[in-house]
Structure 1
Amino acid sequence: MVSESGSALAHPLPGAVGLSHLTAYDWEAADAVCGGSPHLHLVCTEAYVVTGGRGAVQTLSPDGYRDIPLEPGSVAWFTPGTVHRMVQGGGLRVTVLMQNSGLPEAGDAVFTFPPEVLADPERYAAAAVLPPGTGAEVAAVARRRRDLAVEGYLDLRKALVAGDAEPFLAFQRAAAALVRTRVPVWRELWRTGALATAERTGAQLDALAAGEPSYLGDATARRAAPTRLEGFGMCGRRDEYTLPGTTVV
């Protein structure tokens, strides 16, 4: 029998990953492209599993600019430090898998705001935060946030395409400086989440090698449903799950 509990589940998802569902924004930006807010993660790899519609993800990294098509069944992922921008092509819907569940929700993401905003932590925080709720007022703030991120992103992309990587590298350095004080919190989330999950596997392998599989007596199944629907994420409208290790905001 599959057990159905509340949000405080006893076990994390495989690998202690985070999970959400996104419908890409259809708001048109300054470059006539509809989509989300460009940003990067500092220590987490992110994956898109496309479940519907069409679109793309634009990425910036030291190896240049890429425009990766997205269609049902395709998977795209990007490592820490890669700027990514989800582009809406028509009904684009993705399931998002995030490394190190809990860290992205605790601030492991930095928007590509212009340099003068990145240089001022208070100004950055004011531009990045959203009010609570899911109504029109929140949508307007989320759209302004997206537009500011696209403004900085387009400058980074222009320079990178022209062969000048320094603005992009400067953005990475500024992003790292912004989040530096959060590292102790992230380290604890990682220690009790992803690291603990990996160490548990090691203990299970040790038990099997010793011929002592008694830990299998704790076998169970779990079920979870979204705990917030149609929230405003960085890339689009977001259905979220409160799972072990996550700090949904």
Structure 2
Amino acid sequence: MNRPTPLQSISFPRSGFHLLMRHVMDYFGEPWRWCDNNQCCQDIPCQQAHTILQKNHDFTLNTPVVAGRPYVIQYRRPYPAICSWFELDFPERLTAGEVEAWHRFAVEKALFFANLLARWSAIAPPSALFLPYERLMGDPGGWIQGLIAAMSPEPVDADRLAEVSANLSRVRLAPPKDMVHRGPEGRRPGATRGTVTYWEAEGFKPRQDTGFPFHDPDHARFLEQLASWQAGCLVPEARRGRLALALRAAGIEPLDDLDIRQGPPPLVRALVAQVKGPQAARQQ
């Protein structure tokens, strides 16, 4: 097979990149490889001859657009994504009950979510696919088929892709330890030994917001309203329609132009007031 056109993935962490990656790499097979921009050559695009998929979180918010490449923008409802990110990076703080550390982390990442989605709503090529985790998990093969079609020099083999998707959801016994053993006591929170699917071993399982140790429904709504408002403030007016579609696809209600001009949503104001006092809230 001729080299597929490399796919550029811009992703908010914990939004299903590895599920997409396994579908793409298992479909195309050897000798093709994928590139983690932070751990490979750090070039954009990747200069390795066999790279057909490049992952980039765009943490610096200055990643350039590569002309002629298919793009997928991967993201997720901010609250479950940020919970999962905190669990992965700071399991010891969960164990220690460091709620304040969680709150600081969550606000920082909600603002990053807003910046990332606003930026790529503005600059992504018109053909870019905005793919929320919620839709990807509902029909991974269906959504990924369109991406493979954009990459492949040949027509998509639907039977092969269906087989790849089925293989990834089959039960596997005793998965390798490095797939599941992370976090406190050498194990990722929520992971289990024994019989699991590949998706479960990699963390692709439905999560309940209430299962997070520091869950607070008001804080969850605050984070998502903050992200929606900040993204609306940052995106150029001509691209707000694109942003609104992306937010709704992940189950987030975008704010209209009037709401954006009026300042932060009421819940954001109220929680700021609790922390900083009424005067600070009025100044937001």
User: What TM-score do you get using the length of structure 1 for normalisation?
Assistant: 0.24
TM-score normalised per structure 2: 0.22
Larger % of helix: which? Answer: 2
